[in-house]
Amino acid sequence: MDGRPAERTVLRQPDQRIRTVAIHVTGDPEPFLKCGADRYWVGVRGSVSEFLELASDGTIASWLSAAGRTRRKVGLVTPYCVDAARFDQVISAIADFSVGVDRVMTGDPGVASRISDAVRTYLVAAVHNVDHAIFLRRLGIHGVRAIRPVSTGAMDVNREIDLEMPVFGRLPIAFMPECDRGSVGDAPVELHGRGGGIILCRGYAVTSDYLDLSDSLRPFGRDTVGVVETFGLTPDEVAEAVDAIRFGRPVETNRPLFVSEQD
């Protein structure tokens, strides 16, 4: 012994690797273009007003163009809930972008039904069994973004439909399409209580702590797509998460975790 501390040994377990890693970008994807992801999601998932504003002023188009420079699969994120008054406007905006994207994500079954014949469509939903996945596939749904990580049945579901599972980052927990500047302002608002904290954004809320399932990927199966949420993370942190998920090792992070740090 030479008195030096022992080096940390990281065991790489090939059977825990996930084949595809996606990043869900909040805002401009430019800082995250070198993070090594296989799939990029950009757009607006919360406020319908914000989505339509950024679609009309060219912002979303510029985001999609930036992500396209990675030569990876690029998906358009659209509001997860759409009210009747602006439904046709959202459909029209999606149609304007559909030629330049590989896929479109929505949480609204009505929107999915209108666009699935024209573009590969992903639905934000809770899918726990094969029959549900088969039903969605028959409706023209090409993939599912799990609302929350559920390992039970994931391997069976991802044999029937492309399944994306949150693995690292802040976890969206509520969607409020009417919640705009008049209620939460331009900047996110963080609220804390005895059970933890949430951050209110335009049209949706996320956890203030971070999900980390990077060391427990095996139940998801290799065909499940691991998703990294960029909200609150630096590009270096996102790149580290992508690499860790790809090679089946724990993410090296000092962020407050509400899953792994309790294990």
Q: What is the pLDDT of residue 13?
A: 47
Q: What is the mean pLDDT of each run of 10 residues along the chain (263 residues)?
A: 46 64 97 97 94 96 96 96 95 92 96 95 93 94 91 88 95 74 62 76 89 89 93 97 92 83 39
95 and 106 Cβ atoms separated by less than 8 Å:
no
The pTM score is: 0.88
Q: What is the pLDDT of residue 148?
A: 82
Q: What is the pLDDT of residue 93?
A: 97
b/e map 141-165, b = 16+ CB within 10 Å: bbbbbbbebeeebbbebbebbbbbb
The helix (H) or strand (E) run that includes residue 134 is helix 130-138
CB atoms within 10 A of CB 33: 17
CA distance 118 to 89: 17
- Would you kindly state where each structural domain of the chain is located, as residue ranges? 14-169+211-253
Of 109, 138, 135, the closest CA to residue 122 belongs to: 109
HSE (side-chain half, CA atoms, 13 Å) at 10: 11
Q: What is the second-level CATH architecture of the domain 14-169+211-253?
A: Alpha-Beta Barrel (3.20)
The token duo for 239 is 């790149």
